[in-house]
A and B are shown apart, each in its own frame.
Chain A
């Protein structure tokens, strides 16, 4: 049961953005950061970008506090359908917090309080009576480090549908003749193929998923997410724990997925954002969305001086 490829899963040096991240900053315009940013006022027109096409997720004036810590400040942006949106920014800028707001995973952190609104296809996800099960079925998530369940590959993929009662397995279903092994089989194959993993694991679907390499584990997590048939896939630095080859496979996969899904990807790597995304949002220290535009525009000719400094590697 030992890990076949420990090098791939080795902890990255990057610090994960956790709830406890403290941001040293004062209020108002005179931003004097320790990260080497120049002081500058954010202009609303830098973020009022319309990508064209249908808006999948509309975020309006979103604020997040962790206790006394103001982690996200009045973020508004529209995420278009069937495209890749990259969220970039230095550590502690709130981009992961923002991502976790989109499927309400922040509800897990009790100290977090969220104000503002997020709408999925025009339906507010923070209004009363929202069914979290339904929301998370429609907005899937892939985490920073691969987190397959300690179960077989097949069970990992069919986990979501089984929990939602879409596929029945188990003793009782078999006893009452309701088990649908063929449907499960088809779903597992389709999901794994979609995640570009089928070729590698088709002959060992009953092996424990923890025996896969880090890159394979991450693609399994993507397959697991696809099996629920989501509309939006959120990815939180999906390649940060992987080696370059595994990373490039994941990046190819992201581009491919954008044909059918709305993909929102948080990344630490500007190269990655430039390679895979259609539009890019830049968060900077203090939990502010500073600029949101076509990826090309952001990387070649940003409006904000701070963004230019950031993408050219002067700080971050």
Chain B
């Protein structure tokens, strides 16, 4: 086979073009960040920037970005730079730009005072043009011109003040009004996304490589936003909650730490209101749920993976387990209320809450334990069996020890999940909004034996008890008010305590997994 053309391995130099496109991506990123800050109210859209309002300045940036993006496309199409565009921008881009321009057309026709027919017509016309512009020409034009036009239009709207500070648009029938303060940032976010993607494609030289770069820019942005939300959430709760949590903390006095928020109740006598009863309630809840769910779940996992033959029974258990795992927590609450409460003294009680959460934890423990046991290599079992060791001995001394890391990790993560659950205990455990310290359950000290059935009783288990998530909910429904000095601060402190308890479980769980994995690799 003869090859007429042999393409060079190293691309022609287009450093300047790539750098220009790269800085367009960067500028889009900056515009995105500023738009986000404006949306969150960190900066005002009429704040003065270089003599004009922020909104006008952002409009100018968008217009420039739009022009730049179109420029990249034209430079590539006219052969000014050597790129590798494909014959068409592709069906996904065509569909996306059609959608965008249909919306733009409909909105513009609506703003021009046309009726429903006019909107449809305007949307259809612009959508059709956008489709043709994206799908028919070569990729370098198809993926830049419609994008640049979107950004340019948004930029013009902001510069001319058609949309800007003080602008408002009542959504008739929706009982809502759009203000410039929210619409301007949203427009900037959207337009900078479009130009960022388009410029990223250009910087990759269009074609397969360009698409790769464009998609990566979007994905990195998505993941960055998710992580930012995560960090932002935790930091926000921490900032709001720390004053409450640290209220009255003192170190000293015979080297003891005094932490009233965690060791006090919220009674009238406490000088600093605290969450002690709810904290103890949560601890007992978790202990109770673990005592029920872990032996049961691990036992079932052993039976399913070691003894049972694959068949209808195991299939049914698997479906039931997955069904239970996805059952909404509120349904477990209803079940606990209907099934457990009548059997434990006909009132909301600690033990009803424990068992309800135990039922929730069971499928999680079962699934993770089963995975951990199945991950134990069969060679271990065969080796043990070949030495004449009985099946149960093999399970006890080979399989279970090898599965312990997985089981532990699963249990800890599962506990973290149920410790923060509110809905089930709302229906089964109840408790006061601001319990005094005396309301903390004393489970160990309350066991009573009696001569008449049921022979063993424990009043602490049978009483309505508060827990951290429930107390937070109760405070919210009470309108964040109560017989304490600063209910707002108290509630944020409570939220932070809850978050820390749950995240501690997760941190320990993840660290355990990491530790065992490291050990495995050594």
Give chain A's interface residues, CB within 8 Å of chain B.
120-121, 123, 125, 127, 129-131, 133-135, 137-138, 163-165, 168, 170-173, 175-176, 178, 229, 231, 260
Known A-B contacts A125-B9, A130-B9, A176-B135; the reply to A231 vs B208 at CB < 8 A is: no
Which of B86-94, B434-442, B469-477 lies at the interface with chain A? B86-94
Bound CA span A162–B90, Å: 12
Cβ of A165: which chain B residues have Cβ within 8 Å of it? 86-87, 207-208
Is B1 interfacial (CB-CB < 8 Å)?
A: yes
Known A-B contacts A129-B10, A130-B9; the reply to A178 vs B1 at CB < 8 A is: no
Bound CA span A137–B209, Å: 14
Q: Are A176 and B10 in contact (CB under 8 A)?
A: no
Cβ of A137: which chain B residues have Cβ within 8 Å of it? 7
B502 to chain A, nearest CB (A): 34
A50 to chain B, nearest CB (A): 24
Q: Are B208 and A133 in contact (CB under 8 A)?
A: yes
Besides the contacts A133-B208, A163-B208, what 14 more A-B pairs have beta carbons closer than 8 Å? A120-B9, A123-B10, A125-B9, A127-B10, A131-B9, A133-B209, A134-B11, A165-B207, A168-B88, A172-B135, A175-B135, A176-B88, A178-B87, A229-B3
Could you name 16 residue pairs across A and B whose Cβ atoms are closer than 8 Å? A120-B9, A125-B9, A129-B11, A130-B9, A130-B10, A131-B9, A134-B7, A163-B208, A164-B208, A168-B87, A171-B91, A172-B90, A172-B94, A175-B135, A176-B135, A178-B88
Interface of B is mostly: loop
Top 10 A-B residue pairs of the complex, sorted by shortest distance between their CB atoms: A165-B86, A172-B91, A123-B9, A129-B10, A260-B1, A130-B9, A131-B11, A171-B91, A134-B9, A134-B7
Bound CA span A244–B6, Å: 38
Q: Are B136 and A176 in contact (CB under 8 A)?
A: yes
Bound CA span A260–B209, Å: 29
Is B8 interfacial (CB-CB < 8 Å)?
A: yes
Known A-B contacts A133-B209, A164-B208, A165-B208; the reply to A173 vs B7 at CB < 8 A is: no
Known A-B contacts A165-B86, A170-B91, A172-B91; the reply to A131 vs B208 at CB < 8 A is: no
Bound CA span A135–B7, Å: 9
Q: Which of A127, A133, A172, A260 has the most CB of B within 10 A?
A: A172
Interface size class of B (residues with CB under 8 A): 10 to 19
Cβ of B86: which chain A residues have Cβ within 8 Å of it? 165
Cβ of A175: which chain B residues have Cβ within 8 Å of it? 135
Give chain B's interface residues, CB within 8 Å of chain A.
1, 3, 6-11, 86-88, 90-91, 94, 135-136, 207-209
Bound CA span A170–B88, Å: 11
* Minimum CB distance partner of B89 in chain A: A172
B291 to chain A, nearest CB (A): 42
B98 to chain A, nearest CB (A): 12
Cβ of A173: which chain B residues have Cβ within 8 Å of it? 88
Cβ of A127: which chain B residues have Cβ within 8 Å of it? 10
Known A-B contacts A163-B208, A229-B3; the reply to A135 vs B9 at CB < 8 A is: yes
Bound CA span A134–B207, Å: 12
Cβ of A163: which chain B residues have Cβ within 8 Å of it? 208
B171 to chain A, nearest CB (A): 36
Bound CA span A133–B91, Å: 22
B440 to chain A, nearest CB (A): 53
Q: Which of A127, A134, A229, A231 has the most CB of B within 10 A?
A: A134
Bound CA span A296–B303, Å: 61
Cβ of A260: which chain B residues have Cβ within 8 Å of it? 1
Bound CA span A127–B87, Å: 29
Q: Are B10 and A172 in contact (CB under 8 A)?
A: no
* Minimum CB distance partner of A261 in chain B: B1
Cβ of A168: which chain B residues have Cβ within 8 Å of it? 87-88
* Minimum CB distance partner of B91 in chain A: A172
B395 to chain A, nearest CB (A): 28
Cβ of B207: which chain A residues have Cβ within 8 Å of it? 165
Cβ of B94: which chain A residues have Cβ within 8 Å of it? 172
A256 to chain B, nearest CB (A): 13
B360 to chain A, nearest CB (A): 37
B299 to chain A, nearest CB (A): 35
A103 to chain B, nearest CB (A): 11
Bound CA span A242–B135, Å: 45
* Minimum CB distance partner of B90 in chain A: A172
Known A-B contacts A164-B208, A165-B208; the reply to A229 vs B1 at CB < 8 A is: yes
Q: Are A172 and B88 in contact (CB under 8 A)?
A: yes
* Minimum CB distance partner of B92 in chain A: A172
Cβ of A130: which chain B residues have Cβ within 8 Å of it? 9-10
Q: Which of B9, B87, B90 has the most CB of A within 10 A?
A: B9
* Minimum CB distance partner of B85 in chain A: A165
Bound CA span A170–B135, Å: 12
Bound CA span A267–B244, Å: 70
